[in-house]
Amino acid sequence: MLMQILKDVAVVSGISTLLAVVLIIAQKYLSDYGICKINLNKKRDVSVEGGSSLLNSLAEEQIFLPSACGGRGSCGTCKCKVNSGGGPLLPTEKPFLSKTELADNVRLACQVKVKSDMEINVPESIFNIRRFQAKVHEIIDYTYDIKGITLKLVSPDTIDFQAGQFVQIESQAYAKIKQKVVRAYSISSKPQDNDRIQLIIRLVPEGICTTWIHKYLEEGSDVTFTGPYGDFYIRDTEADIIFVAGGSGKAPMKSMLEDLQVKGTTRKMTYFFGARTAKDLYLTDEMRSFEQVFSDFKYEPVLSKPAPEDKWKGKTGFVMPYFQDAIRDPKNTEAYLCGSPGMINAVKKSLIAMGVPDDKIYYDSFG
Amino acid sequence: MKKSPLEIKILSKMQPGEITLNGFLGEDSRDLYDIIAEDERTLETLGVSANELADKMQYFTDKSSDSFMDSVEIDEIFIVDTEVVRGKLPCPFSHPGIYRKTITTLTNKKYNITIRWTALNIHLIKEHHFFEGKNSAFRLDPQVLLKALFA
């Protein structure tokens, strides 16, 4: 009896395995979608081999949509409008899409499989995104948990970006980490130094990519990244500027100020940098030196909880109460913010209450 | 016992380097469902639900998130600090949604206990009754958690 049961189980298992193998082979040989045409923005066609994700198919054609998870469907950043040929919406996409996006045919490119000709809309800015090979040129310890990493470009050997934009670093396998991850970091150097980029990176507890960068990268290490991404950049107006940043949020502001130094400006600018204690401050002398460069610039570090040993004589508490003295005409003021969502929300609320127009508040919220 | 395909998938996502640097299981070699079941038994003995613990954790995270540059003191007992770093994490159980990388640190002055949790920890406890494996970086022992959260 027992032998018969075991025999039956073995037969059923064998049939199941055989069917699985047949399905895999069928998938490989019968699901041949051939060459599919992807029309971008009704302007340009690319031909790709069907069967891969839209994200990967575009990447093969050197068209890079932002993706922080490497196409695993967990970050929700590779959004694009799929007008036709995308197939039905998948349950894996729904949590990442708003009602407006759903109505507007927005999809996650990593979840959409290319099976037929498609028509999609992507931001024009992504056509400038490239994959770069670079080498670590310099590593600077800014604080106990923040490093400045300069990458010298190898191929392509120059990059065209706007101050405030970011790149996506691809970490490599290390220690017990078997696969690469992709993470976004703002460029902190100026666009005019186009043969290199500097990044300011804070070590994140349990962070796979930041641990690789902080503990495993050394001068001469190879690094791959894509970019530039993002629409956080200085608007070309004559309005006064308020910069507000915290932690590694200093990176895009540094790039913007160095860029303005090259281009020249007479705009009134105030830069508030929020930190907890003096040990969280960095690049203070460099930022203060801009007070000598620009005709109307002030750097204001604010410590929320200075330690007694800091002997801090500067501004304390939240940054918001100090805005009043820095803003002379709220309607003619632009704000550039980079930091945690909590900081962004509180600062935005305060600026709007003071009369700064909502549409003149630009920000890069961590995430 | 043979693991189901779902358990294998979940366990693979809990390994080091998949979602977090050191994974969710620490040095725990028990089956995933045994880890959860033991913590559920502890909750039953303590007379508290995973939902109650998760709600209290969320309460402290929300309270301290408003004070983004400093810690807050709540009820003269709890010192709470929530820090947000760049990025988001998915749930290893493949639950829809992603969770911002926040770390809340709570010190209960009455019992002199300090614990920390992430936004993902709250979700894992509330929806999956999963407090992470023993010696995992963000393991939250239900007994310690209860003592720390409710003075």
Enumerate the residues of chain A whose CB falls inside 8 A of the CB of residue B71: 305
ipTM over 0.90: no
Q: Which domain holds residue B86?
A: 5-149
Interface size between A and B, measured as CB pairs under 8 A: 89
A187 & A216 share domain: yes
Q: Which residue of A has its CA nearest to B63?
A: A342
Which residue, of A162, A195, A229, is where some domain finishes?
A: A229
Number of domains in chain A: 3
In a domain, A352, yes or no: yes
- From the list A95, A246, A305, the residue facing B96 with the nearest CB is A95
> Once rounded to an integer, what is the mean pLDDT over residues A43-60?
92
Q: What is the pLDDT of residue B80?
A: 95
**CA separation for the pair A151, A138 (Å, rounded):** 7
Over chain A, what is the mean pLDDT? 90
- A91 at interface of B, judged by CB pairs closer than 8 A: yes
A222 & A253 share domain: no
Q: What is the pTM of this model?
A: 0.83
DSSP of A109-151? TTT-B--S-EEEE--GGGGG-EEEEEEEEEEEE-SSSEEEEEE
Tokens found for residue A278:
């003096």
CB contact under 8 A, B86 and A318: no
Checking if the pLDDT of A151 tops 70, the result is: yes
In a domain, A19, yes or no: no
Nearest to residue A62, comparing CAs of A152, A158, A159, A128?
A128
pLDDT tens sequence across B58-97:
999 999 887 777 789 999 999 999 988 877 888 999 787 7
CB contact under 8 A, B85 and A207: yes
CATH number at residue A258: 3.40.50.80
Number of domains in chain B: 1
In a domain, A209, yes or no: yes
In a domain, A110, yes or no: yes
| Lowest mean pLDDT segment, chosen from A4-18, A73-87, A213-227, A292-306 | A4-18
Side-chain half-sphere CA neighbours of A359 within 13 A: 0
CB contact under 8 A, A366 and B90: no
Q: Which domain holds residue A59?
A: 35-126
A118 & A40 share domain: yes
